[in-house]
A and B are shown apart, each in its own frame.
Chain A
Amino acid sequence: MAVIKIENLRKDYKDVRAVDGISLEIGEGELFSLLGVNGAGKTTTVKMLATLTEPTGGDAWIFGHSIRDGKNEIREIADISMQETAVARKLTVGENIDFYAKLSGLDAKHREERKKFVSDVFGLDQVKNKQTQKLSGGWQRKLSIALALVSQPKVLFLDEPTLGLDVISRRELWKTISSLKGKITIILTTHYMEEAEALSDRIGVMKDGALLFVGTKEEMFAFTGKTNVEEAFVHIVSGGEYSA
């Protein structure tokens, strides 16, 4: 069943069309990756779905709530982890989790359950008394994603979650994100092809605001005649010009 429905979604910034009338449906528990070069419109799409940016045209519904007039309802059921790490710098890891749990309005019993859940999933217990600003980039990113899960969202937007991380931290985060598959509907944007290949149920390829392809990686290979996501992506985006 589709829990995210996007219809002809469009966003214009002055003379630039950042998102050009995309339509898409995403099922419950699905991990959908949006791929694209810089300026393709991935982050703008995610920001519109997360109700951070008003669309210029079209609409999208998340669990039946419109991103235009159902912002408050969507904010109750969705959360986002952005490209930039968004944590309280001088609070400890434990205090950050507690802070988000209280802000999300959970009662005391559920707060404790959620705190334990995110600490277990992300292995945060070992750093819970450390001040966030003293953590490595990898740990900060882990915490940032963990905080998005504290409120028990039904939909999670991950905007380039592993940007700037070393290869080991990235693999660790993949493992954590994989463990969430099927439980939460996730839309992930990334520049890393191997990330999309390892994690996604389906992949969407964007260029100049338009959605050029949507399908599983197998369908992507069949569509392009390639055998890995990177080659298939390059083929789609360049119209075959840069294909190996």
Chain B
Amino acid sequence: MRRSFSRIMTLAGRNEKEILRDPLSLIFMLALPLFMEIVFYAVFHKLTPQFEMKYLAPGIVVFSEAFLSLFAGMLIALDRASAFLTRLFVSGTRAYEFIFSYALSLVPIAFVQTAVFYLVGGIIDRSIFGVGMIWGILLSVVTSLLFIGLGIFFGSVCNEKSVGGVSSIVIMCQSVLSGMWFPVEGLSGGMITFMKCLPFKNATDLMQNALNGVTDPATDIIKPLLIVLAYTVVAFIAAIICFKKKMKA
């Protein structure tokens, strides 16, 4: 057990270095969302409430977490293609140790992302500072695990050429199906139901509600949290099964 934990931590340290030393990951996970947070607030916040900082900052947090799928998927697919994983497999590393190590390496990155976007948001609009921000930062671990799980799954089933395209679908879904850039009230009832069945809007709602306070915790926090958790568990189970299968092959 102790040996296994040590292996997971060693692998996680390596994964984190691999991701953070890629300039593109810093641009997409930090610089681009930060730019969007500042510019979108400056341009749109007086035109539509959607872009007030109390809605924009949590939306940006979840949007930036969607990029974790892309970089987790790319790292795993490249590791598989280069025989790096096979080599580690021979040295006794187990499939679940790989999966946990990928997840563990990305959670601190998500934590920093959230803290940065909330801090910058708070500097721009001080009204978002409060207990809700602490809840938001804590709950961002859950939402980040959703995207990490999806990334690990895609990295396990796709090759290094296709994983970028497939993971981009998650980023696109987070943009279009989360309701973060436009009010959903104008959409058809069927479309809204569809969005509520998927994790993207629920993750965004969860973060926005945590920051802004709730009137009914069951509807505003627990329901979206359970939906996000359900998708996260399914993504991780699928990732472990596919990863094991691929490694065996």
A39 interfacial by beta-carbon distance below 8 Å: no
User: Which stretch from A83-91, A168-176, A208-216 is at the chain B interface?
Assistant: A83-91
Tell me which residues from 34 to 76 in chain B have a Cβ below 8 Å from any Cβ of chain A: none
Do residues B84 and A104 form an inter-chain contact, with CB atoms below 8 A?
no
Chain A residue at smallest Cβ distance from B97: A103
The complex places the Cα of A147 from the Cα of B18 at a distance, in Å, of 18
Do residues B82 and A86 form an inter-chain contact, with CB atoms below 8 A?
yes
Do residues B10 and A99 form an inter-chain contact, with CB atoms below 8 A?
yes
5 shortest A-B CB distances, which residue pairs? A86-B87, A84-B83, A90-B21, A75-B92, A102-B10
Shortest distance from the beta carbon of B231 to any chain A beta carbon, whole Å:
30
Shortest distance from the beta carbon of A170 to any chain B beta carbon, whole Å:
20
Do residues A82 and B6 form an inter-chain contact, with CB atoms below 8 A?
no
Which among A76, A87, A105 is the interface contact of B6 at CB below 8 angstroms? A105
Do residues A103 and B7 form an inter-chain contact, with CB atoms below 8 A?
yes
User: What are the residues of chain B within 8 A of A88 when measuring CB–CB?
Assistant: 14, 17-18, 84
Which among A52, A72, A83, A90 is the interface contact of B22 at CB below 8 angstroms? A90
The complex places the Cα of A151 from the Cα of B89 at a distance, in Å, of 14
Do residues B92 and A86 form an inter-chain contact, with CB atoms below 8 A?
no
Do residues B91 and A75 form an inter-chain contact, with CB atoms below 8 A?
yes
Shortest distance from the beta carbon of B242 to any chain A beta carbon, whole Å:
18
B88 interfacial by beta-carbon distance below 8 Å: yes
Question: Are A78 and B90 also in contact (CB < 8 A) when A88-B84, A90-B21, A102-B6 are?
Answer: yes
Name the residue among A50, A86, A148 with the largest chain B CB count within 10 angstroms: A86
Which among A89, A99, A131 is the interface contact of B82 at CB below 8 angstroms? A89
User: What are the residues of chain B within 8 A of A91 when measuring CB–CB?
Assistant: 14, 17-18
Which among B6, B17, B86 is the interface contact of A86 at CB below 8 angstroms? B86
Do residues A99 and B14 form an inter-chain contact, with CB atoms below 8 A?
yes
A-B contact pairs, 29 of them (CB 8 A): A50-B90, A52-B90, A72-B92, A75-B90, A75-B91, A79-B90, A81-B87, A82-B86, A84-B82, A85-B83, A86-B82, A86-B83, A86-B86, A86-B87, A88-B84, A89-B18, A89-B78, A89-B82, A90-B17, A90-B18, A91-B17, A91-B18, A99-B13, A102-B10, A103-B7, A103-B11, A105-B3, A105-B7, A151-B91
A51 interfacial by beta-carbon distance below 8 Å: yes
User: What are the residues of chain B within 8 A of A86 when measuring CB–CB?
Assistant: 82-84, 86-87
B159 interfacial by beta-carbon distance below 8 Å: no
Tell me the A residues contacting B by CB distance below 8 Å: 50-52, 72, 75-76, 78-91, 95, 99-100, 102-105, 131, 147-148, 151
Tell me which residues from 1 to 36 in chain B have a Cβ below 8 Å from any Cβ of chain A: 3, 6-7, 10-11, 13-14, 17-18, 21-22
Given contacts A52-B89, A89-B78, A151-B91, 6 further A-B contacts (CB under 8 A): A72-B92, A75-B90, A86-B82, A90-B21, A91-B18, A99-B13
Do residues B14 and A104 form an inter-chain contact, with CB atoms below 8 A?
no
The complex places the Cα of A76 from the Cα of B6 at a distance, in Å, of 16
Shortest distance from the beta carbon of B227 to any chain A beta carbon, whole Å:
36
Tell me the B residues contacting A by CB distance below 8 Å: 3, 6-7, 10-11, 13-14, 17-18, 21-22, 78, 82-84, 86-93
Shortest distance from the beta carbon of B25 to any chain A beta carbon, whole Å:
10
Chain B residue at smallest Cβ distance from A83: B83
Do residues B90 and A80 form an inter-chain contact, with CB atoms below 8 A?
yes
User: What are the residues of chain B within 8 A of A72 when measuring CB–CB?
Assistant: 92
The complex places the Cα of A131 from the Cα of B88 at a distance, in Å, of 20
User: What are the residues of chain A within 8 A of B82 when measuring CB–CB?
Assistant: 84-87, 89
Shortest distance from the beta carbon of B1 to any chain A beta carbon, whole Å:
13
Shortest distance from the beta carbon of B244 to any chain A beta carbon, whole Å:
14
Do residues A82 and B87 form an inter-chain contact, with CB atoms below 8 A?
yes
The complex places the Cα of A149 from the Cα of B10 at a distance, in Å, of 18
The complex places the Cα of A78 from the Cα of B11 at a distance, in Å, of 20
Shortest distance from the beta carbon of A46 to any chain B beta carbon, whole Å:
11
User: What are the residues of chain B within 8 A of A105 when measuring CB–CB?
Assistant: 3, 6-7
The complex places the Cα of A131 from the Cα of B93 at a distance, in Å, of 24
Question: Are A87 and B84 also in contact (CB < 8 A) when A99-B10, A102-B6, A103-B7 are?
Answer: yes
User: What are the residues of chain B within 8 A of A75 when measuring CB–CB?
Assistant: 90-92
User: What are the residues of chain B within 8 A of A87 when measuring CB–CB?
Assistant: 82, 84
User: What are the residues of chain B within 8 A of A151 when measuring CB–CB?
Assistant: 91
The complex places the Cα of A45 from the Cα of B14 at a distance, in Å, of 31
Chain B residue at smallest Cβ distance from A76: B92
The complex places the Cα of A76 from the Cα of B14 at a distance, in Å, of 21
The complex places the Cα of A158 from the Cα of B82 at a distance, in Å, of 16
Chain B residue at smallest Cβ distance from A72: B92
